[in-house]
Amino acid sequence: MAIIAVLDFGSQYTQVIARRIRESQVLTRIYHYTTSAAKLESEGVEGIILSGGPASVLAEGSPRPDSGIFNLGVPVLGICYGLQLMATMLGGKVGSSNRREYGRGHLKVNTKDCPLLVGVPQTSRVWNSHGDKIESLPEGFMQAASTENSGFAAVEDRGRSFFGLQFHPEVVHTDHGKEILNNFIFGVCACQKNWTMSGYIEKAIDEIRQTVGDQNVILGLSGGVDSSVAAALLHQAIGSRLTCVFVDNGLLRKGERAKVEKLYSDNFNLNLKVVDASAQFLATLAGITDPEAKRKAIGHVFIEVFEEAINDIGNVQFLGQGTLYPDVIESVNIAGNPSAVIKSHHNVGGLPEKMNLQLLEPLRELFKDEVRALGAELGLSKEVLWRQPFPGPGLGVRVIGDITVERLDILREADAILEEEMFRAGLYYKLWQSFCVFLPVRTVGVMGDERTYDNVIALRLVESIDAMTADWAQIPNNVLQIVSNRIINEVKGVNRVVLDISSKPPATIEWE
Ligand code: XMP
């Protein structure tokens, strides 16, 4: 299959480049910038994109790719830092600009027939973020477009199929970015559209069957998107040789366990083992109030319970996991001395080694949006695929302070009301998360003629793209009013509801 390689120089947009191209049905993989030309050639890359990055090519020790990539005979597109690298490495000159150009710029196309700019109007808006400036182009290159601050906003060496952009085509603020990327992959690299979810399913099912043979797989199902899609895919591939384990840790939302049982056992006819370990979790958590200590305790008990479940099931050789592509990309860390850090994603810790299980990660090639598309092809509903994120430690990190059954029950009731009202108001899918937090304080209230001294529920309603940053959501007052009235009237033990109006940073989304 055709691959476009994105060499990562540490730009915050590297993954966005890959996602944009995959949206056009061309497989794109992200490679560490040190990846050798030989390796890229052996992977069969049909085009190379050099990402942007925070470094300056003028700085000593700034990250450079293998110069052999320019001799592979495949087209290269340099974006921002990638363009400056290309200019420097091929004999041009880069100087530091006296004006850093951030944000919007206006692109003016100067040539009529640059293959990269086909369909891009004479003038359009682009998104810049760079400091250095090209002073002279390498031999063979010519200017193709300019902005206010840069004569070399787009450059080309048509003979060698080398192109460069000083702006970011991958961000939505660049009007015709998508066309420019498509021009590169289809017009210049001549890639075929063969990255589709139905194609992926076929290939993945084949591979899973070959790998697993007549052996057995276990998978921890959380009810979240990733494990649900992984389960559906594995089930399609190997049917009853997959057993899913759902652990009821006593920290679940109202009705969650029944929902999971109904969906997977009844509808999907999947081998589901539900383990009720709530007593074990709650006993371990008793008296623990420190957030990190809670998280650790919950993680430990989970491993114990899961291990026991594997032993009970017996004859299991593989552990299925919903690991996604962003978790396996080698991250580029540029701070003077670039070092490669491999992020690993083992939410069951050292279990695979300890229990001699091989990992099976059928989603490790996919971005989240692709996982959703895959899940939809496999017949999972919008309710499953577009559920708001829910933390692994569950309500354990939403009951502040001591975790007790009484507090969990209060939180569950309040949270269910909030969720219902978010759906009713059409806000559930618009927000990143909307949930309740139980606060371990009691305050005075009055109900009828009686004085009350009860608990406080905080509402956490946030908008976010990726949970790295978040804003508190401004939702209509009448919705807040309904939620507040209903929680106070319907949930025994609550007489006050407050709204969290903190953004992340400096606050986090969860309270613990
Ligand atoms: P914070 O609170 O760090 O949360 O702003 C960022 C996002 O991550 C979710 N979250 C977790 N998810 N296990 C998870 O699977 C966890 O331990 C965990 N802690 C936080 C949180 O809900 C938010 O979407």
Rounded CA separation 491/485 (Å): 10
Distance 466 CA to ligand 1 centre (A): 11
For the cut 60, the answer to whether the pLDDT of residue 338 exceeds it is no
Question: Residues with catalytic annotation?
Answer: 80, 168, 170
What tokens does 110 get? Answer: 């100067």
Per the CB < 8 A criterion, the answer to whether 223 and 259 are in contact is yes
Instruction: Please say whether the beta carbons of 270 and 231 come within 8 A.
Output: yes
Euclidean distance between CA atoms 162 and 154, whole angstroms: 11
SS3 184: helix
Among 385, 419, 441, the domain boundary falls at 385
pLDDT at 81 over 50: yes
Nearest to 435 by CA among 505, 382, 383, 387: 387
Protein residue with least CA distance to atom 18, ligand 1? 391
User: Which residue minimizes the CA distance to atom 4 of ligand 1?
Assistant: 509
Q: What is the pLDDT of residue 110?
A: 94
Q: How far is the CA of 461 from the centre of ligand 1 (A)?
A: 14
Residue 100 scores a pLDDT above 70: no
Which ranges of 92-173 would DSSP assign to H, the alpha helix?
A: none
Domain edge (last residue) among 124, 157, 188:
188
Query: CATH number, domain at 264?
Result: 3.40.50.620
Is the Cα dihedral 72, 75, 77, 78 positive or negative? positive
Which residue has the least CA distance to atom 11 on ligand 1?
A: 391
> Does any domain span residue 248?
yes
Mean pLDDT value of segment 486-500: 98
- The pLDDT, as a whole number, for residue 354 is 84
SS (H, E, C) 437-483: EEEEEEEEEEECCEEEEEEEEEEEEEECCCCCCEEECCCCHHHHHHH
How many domains does the chain contain in total? 3
Residue 108 amino acid letter:
K
Same domain, 276 and 346: yes
Adjacent-strand bridge partners of 433: 462
Does any domain span residue 506? no
> How far does residue 175's CA lie from ligand 1's centre (Å)?
33
Atom of ligand 1 nearest to the CA of 295: 17
User: Which atom of ligand 1 approaches the CA of 222 most closely?
Assistant: 15
Distance 391 CA to ligand 1 centre (A): 5
Whether residue 339 has pLDDT greater than 50: no
**Which amino acid appears at position 130 of this protein?**
H
For the chain, give the mean pLDDT: 93
Supply the DSSP symbol for 433: E
Instruction: Give the distance from CA 335 to its chain's centroid.
Output: 24
Ligand 1, residue 464: give the atom nearest the CA.
24
- Assess whether pLDDT exceeds 60 at residue 36: yes
Contacts of 225 (CB under 8 A, 6+ apart): 322, 368, 371, 372, 375, 384, 385, 386, 387
Q: What b-and-e string marks burial along 54-71, b requiring 16 or more CB atoms within 10 Å of the CB?
A: bbebeeeebbebbeebbe
Residue nearest to atom 7 of ligand 1 (CA): 467
The confidence band for 20, taking pLDDT boundaries of 50, 70 and 90, is: very high
Give yes or no for residue 55 having a pLDDT over 80.
yes
Q: Could you tell me if residue 117 is inside a domain?
A: yes
pLDDT (mean) for 283-302:
96
Q: Ligand 1 atom closest to Cα of 432? A: 24
Q: Which three-class secondary structure state does DSSP give residue 179? A: helix
Q: Please tell me the residue having the least CA distance from ligand 1 atom 6.
A: 467
Cα dihedral sign, 449-451-455-460: positive
- Same domain, yes or no, for 222 and 174? no
Residue 347 — very low, low, confident or very high, per pLDDT cuts 50/70/90?
A: low
- Give the pTM: 0.91
Confidence bin at 336 (pLDDT 50/70/90) = very low
pLDDT score at 85 = 97
Residue 507: inside a domain, yes or no? no
Q: How far, in Å, from the CA of 88 to the mean position of ligand 1?
A: 42
Residue of 460, 510, 511 to test ligand 1 pocket, by largest number of atoms within 8 Å of CB: 510
Q: Find out whether 226 and 387 touch, Cβ atoms under 8 Å.
A: no
- The predicted model gives 133-141 an average pLDDT of 95
CA of 374 to the centre of ligand 1 (A): 24
Q: Are residues 7 and 144 in the same domain?
A: yes
Kindly give the number of the ligand 1 atom that is closest to the alpha carbon of 511. Answer: 2
Query: Are 381 and 402 part of one and the same domain?
Result: no
What is the percent of the chain with per-residue pLDDT over 70, rounded to a whole number? Answer: 96
The predicted-structure confidence for 153-209, as pLDDT tens digits, reads as follows 999 999 999 999 999 999 999 999 999 999 999 999 999 999 999 999 999 999 999
Mean pLDDT of 50-66: 94
Give the residue whose CA is nearest to atom 14 of ligand 1: 391
> CA 370, 371, 377, 380: dihedral to nearest 10 degrees?
-140
Of 257, 251, 261, residue with least CA distance to 285: 251
Contact 89, 66 (CB under 8 A): no
Does one domain contain both 379 and 402? no
Is residue 352 scored above 70 in pLDDT? yes
Answer yes or no: do 32 and 135 share one domain: yes
Residue 450's domain is classified under what CATH number?
Answer: 3.30.300.10
How much is the pLDDT for 350? 77
Mapping DSSP to helix (H, G, I), strand (E, B) and coil, where does residue 3 land? Answer: strand
Question: Distance from the CA of 141 to the center of ligand 1, in angstroms?
Answer: 48
Say whether both 363 and 220 belong to one domain.
yes
Cβ atoms < 10 Å from Cβ of 257: 17
Report yes or no on 62 lying in a domain: yes
Beta bridge partners of 235: none
| β partners of residue 459 | 436, 499
Split at pLDDT 50, 70, 90, the class of 152 is very high
Alpha-carbon span 373 to 153, nearest angstrom: 35
Q: Are 348 and 318 in contact (CB under 8 A)?
A: no
CB 246 within 8 A of CB 275: yes
Of ligand 1's listed atoms, the one at least distance from the Cα of 397 is 19
Evaluate whether 145 touches 154 at the Cβ level (below 8 Å).
yes
CB burial class (10 A; 0-12, 13-18, 19+) of residue 35?
A: buried
The predicted pLDDT at position 261 comes to 94
Residue 36: closest CA among 5, 57, 6, 67:
67
**Quick one: pLDDT at residue 2?**
86
The reply to whether 55 and 98 lie within a common domain is yes
Q: Which two tokens stand for residue 353?
A: 């080694």
Which pLDDT value is given to residue 306? 96
Cα-to-centroid distance, 390 and ligand 1 (Å): 7
pLDDT value of position 348: 64
Tokens at residue 442, please? Answer: 């009691």
Residue 351 within a domain: yes
Pocket test for ligand 1, best of 395, 509, 512 (most atoms within 8 A of CB): 509
Domain holding 417, by residue range, is: 398-499
Distance CA 421, CA 417 (A): 6
What residue type is assigned to position 284 of the chain?
A: T
As for ligand 1, residues whose beta carbon falls within 6 Å of it are: 389, 391-393, 433, 467, 504, 508-510
